[in-house]
Amino acid sequence: MRKQLKAAPPKPQLGHPESSSRNLRTTARSEIDRRLARIEGHVAAIRRMLAAGEDCDSLLVQASAVRSALNGVLISLMEAHVDSCVIPCSKSGDNEEAIERFRRAIETVLKRS
């Protein structure tokens, strides 16, 4: 007797225009961009430390700080996504789609952390 394989669930499609970062509030987008610029500078400083032969403990501390800063970006993005994509979808009456969007966002963040 042959076992039937279950079909893999469809991958969520990301990047729908209705969930574009263009829909984020200007203040949220600016705040996220500011955080990313700070992280970019921090990473550049870590690279300079590495090239200069700084001690591993210092590098680990700085890399951990970058990870923490990225977690802050993820939180800001999730909040902005809920405000600009999930809630408007729910208010339009499509609660199932709103819940699915939120579920996909959580799944994306947790799978990649």
Kindly report the pTM of this predicted structure. Answer: 0.72
The amino acid that residue 100 corresponds to is: E
pLDDT tens string 6-27: 555 444 444 455 667 777 888 9
Residue 7 domain flag: no
pLDDT tens string 19-56: 677 778 889 999 999 999 999 999 999 999 999 999 99
User: 89 with 18: CB under 8 angstroms?
Assistant: yes
Residue 63 domain flag: yes
Residue 32 domain flag: yes
Mean of the pLDDT values across residues 86-92? 82
Residue 103 belongs to domain spanning: 24-111
Distance, in Å, from the CA atom of 103 to the CA atom of 54, rounded to the nearest integer, reads 42
Residue 11 domain flag: no
pLDDT number for residue 22: 75
Distance of CA 58 to the CA centre of its chain: 26
Of residues 63 and 103, more confidence is placed in: 63
HSE of 11, CA atoms in CB hemisphere, 13 A: 4
pLDDT number for residue 21: 76
What integer best gives the mean pLDDT of the chain? Answer: 83
pLDDT band at 65 (very low <50, low <70, confident <90, very high): very high
Residue 39 domain flag: yes
Q: Per the structure, how many domains does the chain have? A: 1
Residue 57 domain flag: yes
Instruction: Give me the CATH number covering residue 63.
Output: 1.20.58.1000
pLDDT number for residue 9: 44
Residue 13 domain flag: no
The amino acid that residue 33 corresponds to is: D
Residue 88 domain flag: yes
